[in-house]
Amino acid sequence: MNIAVVGTGYVGLVTGVTLSDIGHNVTCIDIDKEKVEIMKKGTSPLYEPGLSELMNKNIKQSRLFFTTNHAEGFANAEVIYIAVGTPENEDGSANLAYVEQVAKDIAQYVVQDLIVVTKSTVPVGTNHKIKTIITENLVNNIKFEVVSNPEFLKEGSAIKDSFEGDRIVIGADSSEASAIIEKINQPFGVPVFRTDVRSAEMIKYASNAFLATKISFINEISNICDRVEANVEDVAKGMGMDKRIGPDFLKAGLGYGGSCFPKDTKALIQIAGNVHYDFQLLKGVVNVNRKQQRMIIEKLLERMPDIKGKRIAVLGLSFKPNTDDMREAASIVVTNSLIDRGAEVIAYDPIAMNNAKKILAPEVEYSTSVKGAINESDAVLILTEWDEIKDIDLNFFSEMKYPLVVDGRNCFDLETMREHHIEYHSVGRPSISCQFEKTYA
Ligand SMILES: NC(=O)c1ccc[n+]([C@@H]2O[C@H](COP(=O)([O-])OP(=O)(O)OC[C@H]3O[C@@H](n4cnc5c(N)ncnc54)[C@H](O)[C@@H]3O)[C@@H](O)[C@H]2O)c1
Ligand SMILES: O=c1ccn([C@@H]2O[C@H](COP(=O)(O)OP(=O)(O)O[C@H]3O[C@H](CO)[C@@H](O)[C@H](O)[C@H]3O)[C@@H](O)[C@H]2O)c(=O)[nH]1
């Protein structure tokens, strides 16, 4: 099939690269000239394990192309995927400006019958709106169908998720269009679930909201564990052994960040509100998450009530490991709060520091190594569970004047920290107290 993919963020680029890898001819279109130039050379503009290799392979085999020109990209397209952003409006609703612009671009430039597939996460009813926009603006006399095909990939494991996903959801009003999209995806070997357009749109929001609910739930349990001296990791393990609950997404920590859960939970609250339904449970999930990101500061202040002038090392800045994405990362809230309280912040991340520099407060200093960040710091905060941080030489902590580590991601074994004489506070697990009996005030 000849396919065009509009938008080359995570979703568009991974969609384009993987569709070309299973044998389709794919042209990826983006309005960002600089990005397109980089991609033409086979370089991924985002950090994603395995993506550059797969890009290069398919560029070399002349199955994958990049352009800024919609007319050129659409010239032979039998299917066009929409994969542009749907960011958050100020009121939490999804901003559909980019999607609507692509619908207008399609109406203007398509020259043959085709299927339009929406990969972007869009509120229920948007695909019908896309159909209306294209119909009202069509320049050439062609026939088209619109199909919803929400994306479920996770950043950091996007390629694996494409080839080993749990399901591909295809929502269509036309069974013919649905069958064509199923056939396109067949080589992935992932189970396909076919439904109507509105249900497919809802499946995406409901899935993200449910996963976010699991995370906020276990975070609430972890806060209770802290107070009753239970261990949330064992609690999650014991819960997850029940097949009805399942072990995934029960990792307590600093709450969820990233480009999807924060905006999609708020958008679903808006979608419900638009039909006069008060989604109380999801509002609770969002509020719990907001509080959870600040929990690490509270734990630090319990041991070090005055952090003014103190040097605090912050390890891990991206919203989760294996990505350089800083969108809605806990590090934004945490470093701002440290700086507001007059602390000096020395930060380290294996991959995300360039992106962090564009987003975090200018007062944040950066170290080129974990050791450099810890060196001479008064306390260490851990915000992202990168392997490099989990594998740290614990003597780096022991060598601090008073080794105080507050870990928002439970990176270390309690017994090992005790053996190394490190004062260690983590999430929903008993604290390892300080051998020096020191108060840091
Ligand atoms: N990031 C994820 O992990 C993920 C996973 C599943 C679903 N989603 C959803 O997929 C959508 C895309 O997310 P993302 O993070 O990949 O997006 P992004 O915002 O990172 O990138 C969007 C890209 O689209 C380009 N663009 C905007 N308007 C354009 C136009 N008219 N023509 C061509 N290009 C245009 C931008 O230049 C940008 O490169 C969102 O709706 C998101 O909610 C994202
Ligand atoms: O048990 C867990 C699992 C995740 N998280 C946090 O939740 C956030 C999101 O993590 P993850 O879901 O792995 O990353 P995303 O790349 O944002 O992927 C989510 O959002 C995408 C965009 O919609 C969906 O496609 C994916 O299915 C969905 O998992 C991160 O801050 C994680 O630290 C936890 O705190 N505990």
Q: What number is the average pLDDT over the span 135-155?
A: 97
Are 44 and 62 contained in the same domain? yes
Question: Among residues 195, 229, 252, which one ends one of the domains?
Answer: 195
Between CA 118 and CA 124 the distance in angstroms is 12
At 231 the pLDDT is 97
Are 311 and 401 contained in the same domain? yes
Are 317 and 339 contained in the same domain? yes
Beta bridge partners of 3: 26, 79
At 96 the pLDDT is 97
At 438 the pLDDT is 54
Judge whether residue 441 has pLDDT over 80.
Answer: no
Q: How far is the CA of 256 from the centre of ligand 2 (A)?
A: 7
Beta bridge partners of 379: 312
Which residue in 225, 260, 411, 434 is the catalytic one? 260
Q: How far is the CA of 261 from the centre of ligand 2 (A)?
A: 7
What are the φ and ψ backbone dihedral angles of 379, each rounded to 5 degrees? -160, 155
Are 166 and 201 contained in the same domain? no
Is 319 near ligand 2, meaning CB less than 6 Å away?
yes
Q: How far is the CA of 222 from the centre of ligand 2 (A)?
A: 18
Question: Among residues 160, 195, 230, which one ends one of the domains?
Answer: 195
At 191 the pLDDT is 98
Length of the chain counted residue by residue: 441
The per-residue pLDDT for range 310-368, each reduced to its tens digit, is 999 999 999 999 999 999 999 999 999 999 999 999 999 999 999 999 999 999 999 99
Both tokens assigned to 12? 């568009």
Are 318 and 392 contained in the same domain? yes
Q: How far is the CA of 29 from the centre of ligand 1 (A)?
A: 11
Mean pLDDT of the chain: 96
Q: Which atom of ligand 1 is nearest to the CA of 325?
A: 1
- Please, are residues 254 and 318 in contact by the beta-carbon 8 Å criterion? no
The per-residue pLDDT for range 226-241, each reduced to its tens digit, is 999 999 999 999 999 9
At 398 the pLDDT is 87
The per-residue pLDDT for range 94-143, each reduced to its tens digit, is 999 999 999 999 999 999 999 999 999 999 999 999 999 999 999 999 99
Domain span including residue 352: 196-441
pTM for the model: 0.96
Are 56 and 155 contained in the same domain? yes
Mutate to test the pocket of ligand 2, among 239, 261, 385 (most ligand atoms within 8 A of CB): 261
* Three-state secondary structure call for residue 183: helix
At 439 the pLDDT is 54
Are 157 and 230 contained in the same domain? no
Which residues have C-beta atoms less than 6 Å from ligand 1? 6-12, 29-32, 35, 83-86, 98, 101-102, 105, 120-121, 151, 153, 155, 259-260
Handedness of CA 138, 139, 145, 150 (dihedral sign): negative
- Tell me which residue has tokens 């999930």: 285
Question: Among residues 159, 178, 195, which one ends one of the domains?
Answer: 195
Percent of the chain at pLDDT exceeding 90:
96
Q: How far is the CA of 130 from the centre of ligand 2 (A)?
A: 28
- Give whole-number Cα distances, 322 to 79, 208, 326, 328, in Å: 31, 20, 12, 16
Looking up residue 92, the CATH number of its domain turns out to be: 3.40.50.720
Compute how many other C-beta atoms are within 10 angstroms of the C-beta atom of residue 240: 15
Instruction: Give residues with Cβ within 8 angstroms of 133, minimum separation 6.
Output: 100, 103, 104, 107
Are 6 and 154 contained in the same domain? yes
Q: Which atom of ligand 2 is nearest to the CA of 158?
A: 16
At 35 the pLDDT is 97
- Give whole-number Cα distances, 211 to 205, 247, 377, in Å: 10, 12, 36
Q: Whose CA is nearest to atom 18 of ligand 2?
A: 154
At 146 the pLDDT is 98
- Please, are residues 402 and 378 in contact by the beta-carbon 8 Å criterion? yes
Are 159 and 289 contained in the same domain? no
Is 261 near ligand 2, meaning CB less than 6 Å away?
yes
Are 367 and 285 contained in the same domain? yes
Q: Whose CA is nearest to atom 7 of ligand 2?
A: 256
Are 121 and 158 contained in the same domain? yes
Is 253 near ligand 2, meaning CB less than 6 Å away?
yes
The per-residue pLDDT for range 2-27, each reduced to its tens digit, is 999 999 999 999 999 999 999 999 99
ipTM computed for the complex: 0.98
Q: Whose CA is nearest to atom 24 of ligand 2?
A: 152
Are 185 and 263 contained in the same domain? no
DSSP 124: T
Mutate to test the pocket of ligand 2, among 15, 86, 245, 260 (most ligand atoms within 8 A of CB): 260
At 374 the pLDDT is 96
- Range list of β-strands (E), 106-182: 114-118, 144-148, 168-172
Does the active-site annotation cover 411?
A: no
Number of domains in the chain: 2
Q: How far is the CA of 221 from the centre of ligand 2 (A)?
A: 19
At 429 the pLDDT is 97
